[in-house]
Amino acid sequence: MSPDIEWHIGDGSEQETIVKTQSKPPSRLRKFLIGAMIVLGVGLSVIYSRRPESPQLAQPTAVPTDTPEPLPPLAPAIEREARALASGDMDTFLAMQDPADTQWRQDRLTAFSVWGTPRNDTELFTILDSGIIQPNRAWADVIQYRDGQYFREMRFYRVDNDDWVRTHPDLSDSFWGDEQTAQTAHFDLVYREHDADQARFVADQLEASYAQVCDELGCPEDPATPRLLKLVMLPEFDNLIPGRRQGFGQGYGGQGFSRGFGLGMGQYFTVTLPSPSLAGLYYRTLDTGEPGQNAQIDSYFNRFILSQIMYLASGGFDRWGSNRDGFTFVTAVSNWERTRRGDQFTDRRSFNPDILNSQKPLSLDALWSWSSVAQQQRLLASSEASALIKFIDEQYGADTVLRFFRGLRYAQSLPHLIEITGLPYSEFESKWEDWLKQYRNANG
């Protein structure tokens, strides 16, 4: 029997019957059809439940809007500049310089020279290392044949019109790395991480010059001798451009800035130098296996280190701290040694013919006793002391000058010093007066 179906409106006793129906008994055919439909529905349900799930569609990856454009290869630009330098092609070289930096272009043009080519073209240059500084700058550690040697320097480039142009150095800490320190036998070093190998190269060359000079001067073997200098080699200058000479001596031109108590006090001395990677270094071969002749490093030594060595070698603070008599000859011999080493630098205490010829000479005793010389005559005394060293060199030879210098540690007066040197004082004085008179007559 099928159930009765009634629709009611209202609730409780007030319900009203709207429709009341009673189904007729279903036929046998209808029962069969209903059963078949139930079986079919169950089968489809089972089949669908066993069907694998459809894979999820991958979500599209958002394309960043600031993706950098592909950069052109750097090596062809480096080769183009290298060949322009080698052959002296100024037009090509100038076209390689950053057009957005007028001062850079002018400085590079001023410093331009022909570097020359080696016998074998494959040995013209090598890129030792390189890298990209996002978004459009690059650097390269390049060594190239130059005037019979191989010059290594850090070069910087910028993309301009889909090609690389040479541009000013990146001086940021992010490129050069952390500040580091090291020590050698006589120097404290301060440099950036990217400059570590080159900074040690400079220090090693200065130590070699130190050993050579001490061998000549007879430096005392004193293990307690303090380090002479702190060498600060940081890429922090505003004018790291070849040929420019600005500020307080920083730059590529063989200068440096020194500060400290200096020669007279014999205290700690600090010299600030350019980054050696930017200033450049010379090697004998393309593989950087052997150091070359580095006139710039020689200049650093002559100007900032030599006088300190000579101060210590002639007695140091123990000698000159209590009595400065004879000290003017330390300066005079220092200038003589610098000239002998090929340094063209001239200071106010070097041999000055104009001063020497325009004033009446001082006596030898006055040259020894610096404290007795009037302030207005001290330039004359310094110039005359340098003239005396020139006289000893011409009359007796360089070895006698060195013996004269070594005797400064012990001498109590100039006659005493001349005797320590191995010369009769009366003869020495007579020859000096004759030499000075002839010089003044010839140059007066």
* Higher-confidence position of 391 and 345: 391
| Closest among 268, 273, 202, 281 to 233, alpha carbons compared | 273
Confidence of residue 55 (pLDDT cuts 50, 70, 90): very low
Both 266 and 191 in one domain: the answer is yes
> Does residue 48 belong to any structural domain of this protein?
no
pLDDT in tens, 373-396: 777 788 888 889 999 999 999 999
Mean pLDDT of 238-265: 36
Please tell me whether residues 404 and 431 are part of one structural domain.
Answer: yes
209 occurs within a structural domain: yes
Average pLDDT over residues 56-75: 63
Residue predicted with more confidence, 423 or 256: 423
Reported as a single tens digit per residue, the pLDDT across 317-342 is 788 888 889 999 998 999 899 989 88
| Residue in 281, 300, 302, 303 with CA at minimum distance from that of residue 292 | 281
Residues 417 and 298 in one domain: no
Looking at residues 180-208, what average pLDDT do you find? 95
Domain membership flag for residue 333: yes
Same domain, 164 and 182: no
Claim to verify: residue 345 and residue 322 sit in the same structural domain: yes
Three-state DSSP class for 296?
A: helix
- 237 and 346 housed in the same domain: no
Classify residue 5: in a domain, yes or no: no
Which of 98-107, 122-131, 243-252, 397-406 has the weakest average pLDDT?
243-252
Query: What confidence category does residue 366 fall into, taking pLDDT thresholds of 50, 70 and 90?
Result: confident
List pLDDT tens digits, range 258-294. Answer: 443 333 334 557 888 999 999 999 999 999 989 999 9
Residue at 42 is within a domain: no
89 and 141, same structural domain?
yes
Same domain membership, residue 435 and residue 332: yes
Domain boundary among 146, 168, 190: 168
Domain boundary among 136, 168, 200: 168
Q: What does the pLDDT read at residue 189?
A: 96
Q: Is 325 domain-assigned?
A: yes
146 has which bridge partners?
Answer: 149
- Name the pTM for this structure: 0.75
What is the domain count for the chain?
Answer: 3
Please indicate, yes or no, whether residues 307 and 183 belong to a single structural domain of this protein: yes
- Chain-centre distance for alpha carbon 354: 40
User: pLDDT at position 51, please?
Assistant: 44
Q: Which CATH number does the domain housing residue 109 bear?
A: 3.10.450.50
Residue 244 lies in a domain: yes
Of 168, 197, 216, the domain-final residue: 168
> What does the pLDDT look like over 138-159, one tens digit per residue?
999 999 999 999 999 999 999 9
Q: 77-116 burial string, b = 16+ CB within 10 Å, else e? A: bbebbbbbbbeebeeebeebbbeebeebbebbeeebeebe
In this structure, the answer to whether residues 92 and 212 fall within a common structural domain is: no
Model confidence pLDDT, tens digit, residues 27-42: 554 555 445 555 445 4
Question: CA–CA separation, 417 vs 431, rounded Å?
Answer: 16
Same domain, 116 and 99: yes
Position 256 confidence tier, pLDDT thresholds 50, 70, 90? very low
Q: How far, in Å, are 35, 49, 70, 99 from residue 42 at the CA level?
A: 11, 11, 61, 81
How buried is 189 (Cβ within 10 angstroms: 0-12 exposed, 13-18 middle, 19+ buried)?
buried
Tell me if 69 is assigned to some domain: no
Please count the helices (runs of H) and the strands (runs of E) in the chain. Answer: 18, 12
Say if residue 205's pLDDT is above 50: yes
- Domain, as residue range, for 308: 172-280+287-313
Q: Are residues 186 and 250 in the same domain?
A: yes
